[in-house]
Amino acid sequence: MTENPLLAPSSNPYGAPAFDKIKDADYKPAFEAAIASAKKEIEAIVNNPEAPTFENTIEALEYCGKDLGKVENIFFNLNEACTNPTMQTVAEEVSPMLTEYSMSVILNAELFGRIKAVWEQKDKLNLNTEQSKLLKETYESFARNGANLPDDKKAEFSKVSEELSLATLKFGKNVLAATNAFTLNLTDEADLAGLPEYVREMAAAEAKGRGEQGWTFTLNAPSYSPFLKFSEHRDLREKIWKAYNMRNINDEFDNTHEILNIVGLRIKSSQLLGYRTYAEAALVDKMAKTPETVNSFLDNLMGQSLGAARKEVEQIRRYAVANGFKGTFMPWDFSFWSEKYKDATYSLNEELLKPYFKLENVIAAIFDLANRLYGLQFKENTAIPVYHPDVKAFEVSDENGRFMALLYMDFFPRESKRGGAWMTEFRGQSIKDGIEERPFVSLVTNFTKPTETTPSLLTFDEVTTILHEFGHALHGMLAEGSYGSLTGTSVARDFVELPSQIMENWAYEPEYLKTFAKHYQTGEVIPQEYIDRIVAAKNFLAGYSQVRQLQFGQIDMAWHCGETVPSQDVVAYEQSVVSKSAVVPIVEGAAMGPQFTHIFSGGYSAGYYSYKWAEVLEADAFELFKEKGIFNKEVASSFRKNILSRGSIEDADVLYRNFRGRDPESDALLKKYGLK
């Protein structure tokens, strides 16, 4: 297997993955060999004749399965960003193998016996902070995942875990398939009324690429979102809205059964471990700790935001009526009329701003911000293989020339990539035997592709999106520590969004915007008048946006706080949850759940609240930057030292207090959005 490019030592700079050599046929053999190797490493730990110690048990386990981790990181990241039917089949074939391996480790009585022996003598071992945290995380992870179960329950837990891994895979596969299955092809130019030129160009390029006439629109965000905002044809807006919000419901790629299956399996696995609900089990190691805390947090914010949201929607509805709208104001009307209201009130719209946000300029500005705050430097290296021609690879170094990371950036949508934007890693940071491995970080988005006449121009929302994901990337690139399971973004789910969400704040700072927002044709710096409008419109629909996110969190908790699977069908159950906080009419047959990859296939189950939880942290944290200066080196250095570089070497609340000098002020988010 040393010839397999997934396992062979890389000859690329910094040992970068050999994307130019990896073939689909390499994946399954690599998984099989890596799992076999990892099992031998586990056997060596278990059969060690020496008494259990931190080094020969806890540390040895931490470094176990390095090859397997490498293969998993490459394969599953590409299965999200550059997949194909063969890879999807491989994913379904190897997931049971991975679950079996994972369970064979977690439920290994002899291994847990050694871990427990070290845990019981922890007070005598003179461990440093990082070692103590690794011991604690290792012991508690095994205990939370069934290590204390009797043998018959271990077998059942293992079976449920395997079924669950396959079900979540199928869920994500279905969402991608349903998204790709819909297109809206228009051949009459009159049907394009209201659509800006950039939207028409993009749709023409999409049609051309598909061998179709006219203009083709898809459910990918760069196509779907502007169509809803600008199309003057209400019937077409309704058609594409329903296609998007009724995906995976009673269609070829139906996910309603998968949701009930996943929820049932999660309940079963949690109850085997002694918890009443999945949410109880999932929140044990989070900042919030309990479902009661999360639900109280969501309800409290909802109570303080719902009135403002309803006023905002009514304001938009009245504006629409005053401008000729007749009938019931529906969700497919909201984006259209709110965009018109925003333009009329603030003289601000996407078409006005997009020329100032050329993708290349935005990326250069983000790199410059990282340099000003943290001394980082970025240099593209075309000698480093990438997994798709759209991808660019950058070497990242600090102010002293020390290599910090490789950064892969993948900007544009394609049928092989799921929607949304995310950061992930092909390799994390760690140190073993004095040799450090620096991270390989990947940042993926779905921005508008350049056309034959126009470069990729971002909406202002997309500017904040790339800043958000770059915050995650910084968390990975600035990691410092010995153990990969404790470094970078390996932190509590409700803490991980702090480094990302705080970065969005810079998009609203005139001092920063003026450094890069220049018209792609004339080179003109964005006028102060436009910046004033951006800042003035910052909290436009803040209540509505807040309520929408809180609803997603409540849907998540509703699915995961029960002791049994809900008896209602999926759509009816979800609509019963959101009906109390609905601000626009609920559409029969539409639901978020069947496409909600975050909670059913993406790791945020019983954790979607964490976006709002972390927003409280970032709102409070950014106040210090505002007080001292948005480019203040002292504050940035403290944020790097206490947050970005520390991973989860200490508990999240300790890290935050080390940075801020106190606990976060709970009203910070409401103040930020002008809701208090």
Residue 302 neighbours by CB under 8 Å, 6+ apart: 547, 550, 554, 581
What is the DSSP secondary structure assignment for residue 94, as one 8-state letter?
H
User: Residue 414 CB: number of other CB atoms within 10 A?
Assistant: 16
| Options 280, 312, 462, 469, the catalytic residue | 469
Q: Give residue 279's region: left, alpha or beta (phi > 0; psi -120 to 50).
A: alpha
Q: Could you tell me which residues come within 8 angstroms of residue 547 by beta carbon, excluding any fewer than 6 positions away? A: 302, 305, 306, 309, 581, 583
Question: Which of 649, 648, 484 lies closest to 70, judged by CA?
Answer: 484
Structure tokens at 104: 């064979």
Helix or strand holding residue 515 (H, E): none
Concatenating the DSSP letter of every residue in 33-59 gives: HHHHHHHHHHHHHHT--SPP-IIIIII
Bridge partners of residue 442, in order along the sequence: 408, 424
Distance between CA atoms of 316 and 229, rounded to whole angstroms? 13
Residue 215 in contact with residue 207, Cβ under 8 Å?
yes
Tallying the residues shown for the chain, one arrives at: 676
Q: Is 469 a catalytic residue?
A: yes
- d(CA 470, CA 422) in angstroms, rounded, equals 9
Rounded CA gap, 601 and 167, in Å? 8
Q: Provide the token pair at 576.
A: 């019963």
531 Cβ contact partners less than 8 Å away, ≥ 6 residues apart: 510, 513, 514, 517
Q: Give the torsion through C-alpha atoms of 612, 615, 620, 621, to 10 deg.
A: 150
- Residues whose CB falls within 8 Å of the CB of residue 4, separated by 6 or more in sequence, listed in order: 26, 29, 30, 33
Cα distance between residue 494 and residue 282, in whole Å: 12
Q: Which residues are catalytic?
A: 469
